[in-house]
Amino acid sequence: QVQLVQSGAEVKKPGASVKVSCKASGYTFTGTYIHWMRQAPGQGLEWMGWINPNGGGTKYAQKFQDRVTMTTDTSIATAYMELSRLRSDDTAIYYCAKYSGFDYFFDRWGQGTLVTVPS
């Protein structure tokens, strides 16, 4: 079955970078995009961007444009999201999600990765 398994929780200092991984299985990894979202404590979901594993094309939300980098390693069916210059308000659960391939929804999500940036 389709699964997205993310890396474990991280604690980072302000100004540092964090790289979260998302390993896919059960479908053709290069067949559809991977999106990244985040959820701050007690807040709603926020879309961060997507990457096309077939070629590496990306689109980032303007809010994160200068701090986020999304990459993939197709040899191991894994997507990565790196966020730099971390601030305390980046403390959140970060999710990867598989794009359905049509009509703009996400049909499978990873379990989430908690990133904590103490103030």
Partner 1 sequence: QSALTQPASVSGSPGQSITISCTGTSSDVGNYNLVSWYQQHPGKAPQLIIYEVTKRPSGVSNRFSGSKSGNTAALTISGLQAEDEADYYCCSYVGSEAFDYVFGAGTKVTVL
CB of 67 to partner 1, least distance (A): 15
Residue 67 touches partner 1, criterion: CB under 8 A:
no
Out of 63, 76, 88, 101, point to the residue binding partner 1 (CB under 8 A): 63
Distance, CA of 70 to CA of 91 (rounded, Å): 18
Residue 45 touches partner 1, criterion: CB under 8 A:
yes
44 or 118: CB nearest partner 1? 44
